[in-house]
Amino acid sequence: MEALFLVFILIYAEGTSSNAYKGDETNISNTTDLIGQYNFSEITESSTIPLPAPTDTLPTETDTSLPDQTGQSETVPGKGVTNLPSTSTTQSAPTGTPREPRPLFGSLPSPDYSVSSLCPCNVQHAKCEVNCCCDPDCTEEVSLFISCSVEKVSVNPKLCSQDVASYSLRTTPEGYASVQSSVDREVNPDVFCIQKANYDAGLSYAIPEVPTDANFDTLFSQFVGFFFSTSEGSSEANQKDEEIFAAYHYGDPIQTEDEVGQRGNLHLPASAGTTYCLDANPAAFLQDQTSTCMRNFDVVNDCTTLDALSWQTYSGFHIFSEVTTHASLVPVEVVSIVLQSAEGVQTSVDPSERSPYTPQLVNPTGAGFAVCNNVVLQVKYVVVFTDAGEITNVTAAFILGEVRDNMVPIHQTFQIEFVQESANKPSFKFSGNPGYIVGLPLIAGTKTADAIVLGADPKAALSVIGSSRDQDCLSGSIKRSPVLFGVDTVSGCTLRLEDTSNCTVLTETLIGVLKGKTFPDHVASFGNTLPKYTLDWVPIKNQTITATGSQECNIPLSLHLEVRWTKYGSLLNPQAQIVSVTEIIAANTSSLALLSSANGFVPVTTSVAFVDVSAPAEPGFRAPPTIDAKLPFDFFFPFV
């Protein structure tokens, strides 16, 4: 009798845990009905609340020793002392037992763990579940069942001996199905089953705190809050206390105030996830950045109404010189406006006359010819700051373009640059200090009598043909991309042979296309070579490959720049030094007609190759004599 009591205690203890039905899943695995099993596991999961399932009756502990209330089985589980099957009955008309009301406020009901009253598939109150053989609400519907979704119910499969309620369908002589239920005492064949549990708390979860009048406030504060996260995740998501400084710090958003007096941030539209412009992206203090993003709009409807197209949007505000509210306001000064035609021709206009340069819709009637003028294509801010992190001056430069119907969506480029007030404007940016850094442009210039003269854009002094849409070498709008140190490049355009009427003119034009407008003759040997030290500059050697035969027209078809560089300095931190630059221009060696394919196109290419000519490093000290018979380096691997 003591063992029986222990079993009961175990059942009770296990039942309070949320995985009370876990054993049922394993026991029920012989169920062939997959749907039933799935439903069952769902039910199991839904019953993980600490309260018992609503179908459970609310007996006290002594109730379990009473005959089962559901009337499914006449077997009394507590009296299944023998291991023999108990009496089994055929369920003909179970009497629906009245359910007890919901648990009272402030107390948890003691759950019922007699297996005959557990029915995990019974999820509807006072309604019969199809194929749920243990549902006491099923009366005549039983004859419609074809199988039992739950065939066995047990409480804890780890126990050596326990009650198991089993349900099966039987066909009556009249051809109808009827449920046969029985409660048996099953012996667990497992060697490591639990014979006797003397620590009940070890088998169950802690009993949750039930809200009462006394503890409601503490519980509420514990669980209050609306978040979609794990409890661990929410703790780390708490915001850091933002320290308020007067001056801007690196990475701070720049505060602005618009005409209405509304505070905001200086916006530098950028893209995230897609290429569309996200207009609200704040610009960060002291972070020079360039962002190019896409703007899609309807030319006819949005030209004059869309704010993002108008340059006033990007300059019609004041900037706070400091973070604090009483800081002075700095206006955004428009220093240049460049108008760009649809073909890419740029004309500079006087920025003081601002009014004419708002977006204007031209030809709104023509379906294919709607043109929006003065659309912002590029914005460049230059922010001047002091050592104290105070903004003293902000200038904006715009490129406004003519946008046709077929040109949308357009690219908009936004650039912000921070310039220190006290510093002298540097003549050019180094490409390394001292050696070149991979990925930075080669510095090139033209030699005069006493110094090297750098071009207007020293970053793109040495350039190759960039990729362009129309691929036509003679279109005049070929983009160029700078030669970057260490990056081998090839690119090109096509030449139509119909244009090869005037050979000399064509040759000159193509040289210009290959070399660019201003081709320098010297390249800085180090990334930080100053223009005044002319000896540190490497001349660009010229090499032209032309046809040997007497061709009537020799036109240059390719430009190859070979940059030889070497490593300089210590072994651990070698610096890249350019030792020679050779420009190889190759003209056609056979007749143009042979070169071109049937459609008359000849490819014109530019390429850059970087060749490492450094000699192998030599040790700077006399090496001591060594014994050649060496053990492999990892012979004593873990010891050394």
Partner 1 sequence: MAFFEVYSHPALIRYKTSVCTKATLFAIAVLCLTYIPPLLVAYRSQGFWLKRSTYEEQPVIRFQYQMLLVTATSSRGDYVAWSTYPHLNNLLGSNLRIPMVSAREEDQNQDGKLDLLNLQLELPVSSEEQVYSIQLLLTFSYQLFRMSTVVMQTLAFVQHSSPVPGSQLFVSGDLCLEQRVPLPHRGLHTTYNVSVIDGNSPFASSYDLVNIIGEYQKRNLTTVFSCPSPVWTVGRAAEAPFKISAVVRYPVEVISYRPGFWEMIKLAWIQYVSVLLIFLWVFRRIQDFVYQNQVLPTVPVLPFKQHTA
Local structure of 67: helix, strand or coil: coil
Asked whether position 391 contacts partner 1 by CB under 8 A, the answer is: no
213 or 634: CB nearest partner 1: 634
Q: Give min distance, CB of 290 to partner 1, in A.
A: 11
Q: Which residues pair with 568 in a beta bridge?
A: 575
Stretch that binds partner 1, among 228-236, 326-334, 410-418, 452-460 (CB under 8 A): 228-236
Which position among 206, 237, 260, 367 is part of the footprint of partner 1 (CB under 8 A)? 237
Asked whether position 635 contacts partner 1 by CB under 8 A, the answer is: yes
Asked whether position 279 contacts partner 1 by CB under 8 A, the answer is: yes
Asked whether position 50 contacts partner 1 by CB under 8 A, the answer is: no
Asked whether position 296 contacts partner 1 by CB under 8 A, the answer is: yes
Q: How many residues bind partner 1 (CB under 8 A)?
A: 35
Asked whether position 199 contacts partner 1 by CB under 8 A, the answer is: no
* Interior angle at CA 451, CA 445 and CA 455, nearest 5: 30
Asked whether the beta carbons of 493 and 470 are under 8 A apart, the reply is no
Asked whether position 194 contacts partner 1 by CB under 8 A, the answer is: no
The C-alpha atoms of residue 191 and residue 198 are separated, in whole angstroms, by: 19
Token couple for 120: 């995990």
Cα–Cα separations (whole angstroms), residue 400 to 368, 488, 568: 21, 34, 47
Asked whether the beta carbons of 565 and 610 are under 8 A apart, the reply is yes
Asked whether the beta carbons of 587 and 547 are under 8 A apart, the reply is yes
Q: Give min distance, CB of 632 to partner 1, in A.
A: 8
Asked whether position 272 contacts partner 1 by CB under 8 A, the answer is: yes
Asked whether position 229 contacts partner 1 by CB under 8 A, the answer is: yes
Local structure of 379: helix, strand or coil: strand
Asked whether position 202 contacts partner 1 by CB under 8 A, the answer is: no
Asked whether position 42 contacts partner 1 by CB under 8 A, the answer is: no
Q: Which residues lie closer than 8 Å to 184 by C-beta, 6 or more apart?
A: 80, 85, 86, 163, 164, 166
Q: Are strands 410-420 and 371-385 parallel, antiparallel or unpaired?
A: parallel
In the range 394-413, which residues lie near partner 1 by CB under 8 A?
A: 409
> x-or-dash pattern for partner 1, window 333-372, by CB under 8 A?
----------------------------------------
Q: Give min distance, CB of 257 to partner 1, in A.
A: 18
- Residue 508's identity, in one-letter code, is E
Asked whether position 638 contacts partner 1 by CB under 8 A, the answer is: yes
The C-alpha atoms of residue 91 and residue 72 are separated, in whole angstroms, by: 6
Scanning the structure block, which residue is given the tokens 């708390």? 201
Which position among 107, 230, 504, 597 is part of the footprint of partner 1 (CB under 8 A)? 230
Scanning the structure block, which residue is given the tokens 């908009």? 412
Stretch that binds partner 1, among 188-196, 223-231, 345-353, 519-527 (CB under 8 A): 223-231
In the range 242-261, which residues lie near partner 1 by CB under 8 A?
A: 253
Residues 62, 63, 67, 72, Cα dihedral to 10°: -150
Token couple for 161: 């001996």
Closest CA to 274 of 302, 253, 293: 293
Which position among 276, 430, 568, 601 is part of the footprint of partner 1 (CB under 8 A)? 276
Per-position DSSP letters for 251-280, written without gaps between them? TPBPEEEETT--EEE-B--B-SSSSB-BTT
Token couple for 137: 């609400």
* Interior angle at CA 639, CA 634 and CA 640, nearest 5: 65
393 or 413: CB nearest partner 1: 413
Asked whether position 192 contacts partner 1 by CB under 8 A, the answer is: no
Q: Give min distance, CB of 482 to partner 1, in A.
A: 22
Q: Give min distance, CB of 273 to partner 1, in A.
A: 4
Which position among 13, 270, 444, 557 is part of the footprint of partner 1 (CB under 8 A)? 270
Which position among 125, 240, 425, 630 is part of the footprint of partner 1 (CB under 8 A)? 240
In the range 2-31, which residues lie near partner 1 by CB under 8 A?
A: 19, 22
121 or 293: CB nearest partner 1: 293
Q: Give min distance, CB of 17 to partner 1, in A.
A: 10
Cα–Cα separations (whole angstroms), residue 4 to 80, 113, 206: 9, 14, 24
Q: Are strands 575-587 and 480-482 parallel, antiparallel or unpaired?
A: unpaired
Binding site for partner 1 (CB under 8 A): 19, 22, 45, 227-230, 232-233, 237, 239-240, 253, 265, 270-274, 276, 278-282, 284, 289, 291, 296, 409, 632, 634-635, 637-638
